[in-house]
Amino acid sequence: MNLTGKVAVVTGGAGGIGEAIVNALKGAGARVACLDLRQGNGNINLICDIGSDDSVIAACALAEAELGMPDILIHCAATTFKGAVLDTPIADFERIMNINVYGALRLTNAFVDRMKARKSGSILYISSINARFATPGQGVYAASKAALDSVVKTLAVELADDGIRINTVQPSSVATPLLVEGFNALPNRDEAIAINKARHPLNRWGEPEEVAKLALFLVSEDAAWITGAHYALDGGASVTRR
Ligand SMILES: NC(=O)c1ccc[n+]([C@@H]2O[C@H](COP(=O)([O-])OP(=O)(O)OC[C@H]3O[C@@H](n4cnc5c(N)ncnc54)[C@H](O)[C@@H]3O)[C@@H](O)[C@H]2O)c1
């Protein structure tokens, strides 16, 4: 995969999956702006709250001034709330939607007019397997990812004439610090991990680098005929009941 000369912006690029994506993009020759609440490993790293209009506008302007107009946008930042749907305070529902969904749209809006003028652009949002299934204990997170997938279907059609492609990937359990910490907090940690792994026919968690490989393909010219798609990346978890 050769992305030499391309510019990418990655939100949540300092996280487990985000950092793997940033590294993969850089490895393919792209110059990468990492937007996150913490320091990342991009060519430039901007502290940015993707939940804030002002913060995103300022960070995107700085990214463009430093690296040039982006060709690739990837929204990887996300947050969650652990609890039953009806126990989730509305303020938390709003916070999750604001970061997971509106954050993606803020990033896209910062550059889409000029992508349209150029008649090219490649956009990827990181969704989740939970977008497609009941997710007791994290139903509001799941709803935000379902919203992301839905919006991408419509955007794919709305932006197609402008030469802009947009897709999502839907990982299941990926071995990031976030996932591991979640299990570490459980009293039956080892059993819960074994049960979770067994829900994947390939009987293991995914690695961040495996998400990055698919992300790299989808934002590259090799995926020039792919738009509006949601790619499962889940060791087979979504094709069977286990
Ligand atoms: N790890 C998994 O098992 C898994 C499974 C399915 C989907 N995902 C998705 O993959 C993506 C990355 O997940 P991860 O496991 O690497 O999590 P992570 O917590 O390691 O990374 C998320 C990153 O987003 C950043 N972030 C959070 N709120 C932000 C904000 N307001 N502004 C800017 N940055 C913000 C965090 O600082 C962090 O660096 C998320 O969209 C997540 O929903 C993860």
**pLDDT tens column, 89-116:** 999 999 999 999 999 999 999 999 999 9
Helix (H, G, I), strand (E, B) or coil at 91: helix
Ligand 1 centroid – CA 221 distance (Å): 26
H or E, element range at 178: helix 177-184
Per-residue confidence (pLDDT) for residue 128, from 0 to 100: 97
Residue 196: its pLDDT value, please? Answer: 94
Q: Which residues of the chain have pLDDT under 50?
A: none
Give the phi and the psi of residue 72 in degrees, each rounded to 5. Answer: -135, 130
| pTM of the full structure | 0.98
pLDDT value at residue 181 = 87
Residues designated as active site: 141
Q: With the C-alpha atoms ordered 175, 181, 184, 185, is the resulting torsion angle positive or negative?
A: negative
pLDDT given at position 1: 82
**pLDDT at position 178:** 83
Residue 24: per-residue pLDDT: 98
- CA 232, chain centre distance (Å): 13
Please work out whether the CB of residue 17 comes within 6 Å of at least one atom of ligand 1.
yes
User: For residue 16, how far is its CA from the centre of ligand 1 (angstroms)?
Assistant: 7
What is the model's pLDDT at position 182? 84
- Residue 151 makes CB contacts below 8 A (sequence gap 6+) with 101, 104, 105
Q: Are 28 and 215 in contact (CB under 8 A)?
A: no
Q: Find out whether the beta carbon of 15 lies less than 6 Å from any atom of ligand 1.
A: yes
Domain segments of the chain: what residues?
A: 7-171+207-230, 175-205
Q: What is the CATH code of the structural domain delimited by 7-171+207-230?
A: 3.40.50.720
Task: Indicate whether residue 235 lines ligand 1 (CB < 6 A).
Answer: no
